[in-house]
Amino acid sequence: MSSIEETKLQDEESNTSELSKKKEEDEVTPWNVVASSDSGIDYDKLISRFGCSKIDQQLIERFERLTNRKIHYLFKRGIFFSHRDFNRILDLYEQGKPFYLYTGRGPSSTALHIGHLVPFIITKWLQEVFNVPLIIQLTDDEKFLWKDLDANKAKQMAIENIKDILAVGFDIKKTFIFSDFKFMGQNSAFYENVIRIQNKVTFNQVKGIFGFGDSDSIGKIAFPAVQAAPSFCSTFPFIFKDRKDIPCLIPCAIDQDPYFRMTRDVAPRLNFQKPALIHSVFSPALQGAVTKMSASDQNTSIFLTDKPNEIKNKINRHAFSGGGATLEEHREKGGNCDVDVSYQYLRFFLEDSDRLEQIRQDYSSGKMLTGELKKELIGILQKIVEEHKQRRADLSDEIVNEFMTPRKLDFDY
C-alpha cells in the first residue's frame, strides 16, 4: 500500500479526516454528541463535514415512483435527512437486483429508550416496502470495551435489547439478529471478514477517523472492523450462500457514519460492495437539543420500561420548554417549536401530519400553552410504550432463539 493510501481516511465522498472538532463546532462521534448551540446540531454543516448527501425532494419522488408507496413521515419531516448511495439502492430495486438491510444497536442499558426506536421503525418499514433480508447486530463487545461492563452483563443487556427490538414487529422469516459475543464463535465467515478488514486499515487511519489515542486499548482500535463486517454479504453464507456481490443499505443515526466511511474505503480493496446509508437526526435529551437522549441517564429519556406515570412526570418536570416565561408573554409572542422538546418529540412520534401542523401553528401563536403541548405528547408516548410492552410480553424465549439462529431466510440466492 502506498503512503497516500495509508493516509486516506475515508471513501471518495468525504474529505474530512477527524472527529476532534473545534470548540465552536458540534461534536458528533459514535460515543459522544454535543451541540455548540441551544438549537441543537447543525445538520447542514454536518452533511458538509461528513461528505454525505442530503435526502432531497427529487430522491423522495423517485422512491415513491419506483415503489408506488408514499414516503414515510420520518423522511418527509427530515428525521432521516442524509444518505450515501441511496440512489444506487433504488437503481437495484428498479432493476430487480438483490440487496439487504443492515442495522444495529450497542446495548448500554437493559431497556431501549424511545429514541432508539427510530432507526428500527424505519428499518421495518423499508423491509416491508423492499421485501429484502434484514441483519441486526448487537455490539455487546463494543460496550464491554467502552463502558467497562462485565462481559456477562453486556451479553445480558444484549438479550434484553433484542427483545425490545423484536417487539417493533420484524418478520422472523426475513430477519436474522445476533450479538457479537455469541455469533463470532458460531460463524467463521464473520471472523474471517473482520480479519480481512483489520488487515486493510492502519492505526493511522482509525486514529484519524475515530480519534483514538495512544492510551486506548487495542480492543477499541480493532473494534471498527467488527461493526463493518456485517456490511458484506459474505459474512452470512447461510443466507447469501457464496455471493459476494450483494450490497446493503444501513439505516442509522448520523453518529454511526464514521464506521461506514471506513467500511466504504475498505470495500473496493476487498472486492466487496460498498454499503449505502441513510442517516437520522438525534432524538434530543429531555433537557434540550444540546445533546441526545442517553441510555445511561434515566432523566434524559423516556424508556420502554417506564410506567405511564413515570412518562408523565418526566415530561412535565424535565422536558425543555420553548414557551414564554409568563402566560402573558406566551400568549403575546407564542412558543418556539425549534427548541421545545415536547414539540420535537411529536415530530418523531405523531404520525398525523395535519395534527402536527395544527399544533405547530397553535403553539407558535400562543394559542396552545406549554402544559397543553406536554399533555398531548404524554398521551402519545404512553400509548406507544404500553403497546410496545404488550408486544414484548408476547415474545417467547423460543421465538427469540429462532431469530438468533443462523439459518436460511425466505430468499434464494
Model pTM score: 0.90
Average pLDDT for 294-302: 71
Average pLDDT for 151-158: 93
Q: With left for phi above 0 and alpha for psi between -120 and 50, is residue 397 left, alpha or beta? A: alpha
Q: Across all residues in the chain, what is the average pLDDT?
A: 90
Q: Smallest Cα–Cα separation from 254: which of 410, 98, 81, 137?
A: 81
3-state secondary structure of 97: coil
pLDDT band, residue 127 (cuts 50/70/90) = very high
pLDDT of residue 196: 96
Residues 304, 114: contact at Cβ < 8 Å?
Answer: yes
Checking if the pLDDT of 119 tops 50, the result is yes
Q: Please name each of the domains of the chain with its CATH number.
A: 21-285 (3.40.50.620), 293-393 (1.10.240.10)
Q: Smallest Cα–Cα separation from 173: which of 215, 213, 221, 133?
A: 133
Q: How many angstroms separate the CA atoms of 250 and 242, rounded?
A: 21
pLDDT of residue 30: 81
Checking if the pLDDT of 173 tops 90, the result is yes
User: What is the full DSSP assignment across 11-30?
Assistant: -TT-----S---TTSPEE-S
Q: What percent of the chain has pLDDT over 90?
A: 79
- Up-side HSE of residue 185: CA atoms within 13 Å toward CB? 4
